[in-house]
Amino acid sequence: MAISIYHNPRCSKSRETLKLLQDKGIEPEIREYLKDVPSADELKAVLKKLGVSARDLLRKKEAEYKEAGLDDESLSDDAVIDSMTRYPKLIERPIVINGDQARIGRPPESVLEILE
């Protein structure tokens, strides 16, 4: 199975993670998730691979976080995921996926554990 990355070329951590993969001889399938927004089902699958809740994947410092009312801790995972599909900027990045495993590239080296 091919390795893929949810990538934002304007993000330094995303660029560093992509370069790390390429330096290891890996040319991942690149998904610019701001242009090609993942569906709710795709996000649920990624969350399962990451082993985290939807809230753990949120970028809480984005303006859209407050605008969407995501500071309300009582929101369900489905509501949080719906907000991420409407405001993909809220999705933490980069995410590297290898089969049934995924890691957030913060720091970029954290993705190395799923490459073996």
Angle at 21 between CA 31 and CA 15, to 5 degrees: 60
Name the amino acid, one letter, at 14: S
At residue 25, the pLDDT reads 95
In the predicted model, is pLDDT for residue 116 greater than 80? no
CATH of domain 3-114: 3.40.30.10
User: In the annotation, is 31 catalytic?
Assistant: no
Pick the catalytic residue: 11, 26, 75, 112? 11
Go through 50-69 and write b for each residue having 16 or more CB atoms within 10 A of its CB, e for each that does not.
Answer: beeebeebbeeeeebbeebe
Average pLDDT, the chain: 96
- Amino acid, res. 71: D
pTM over 0.75? The answer is yes
> Residue 79 above 90 pLDDT?
yes
97, pLDDT greater than 80: yes
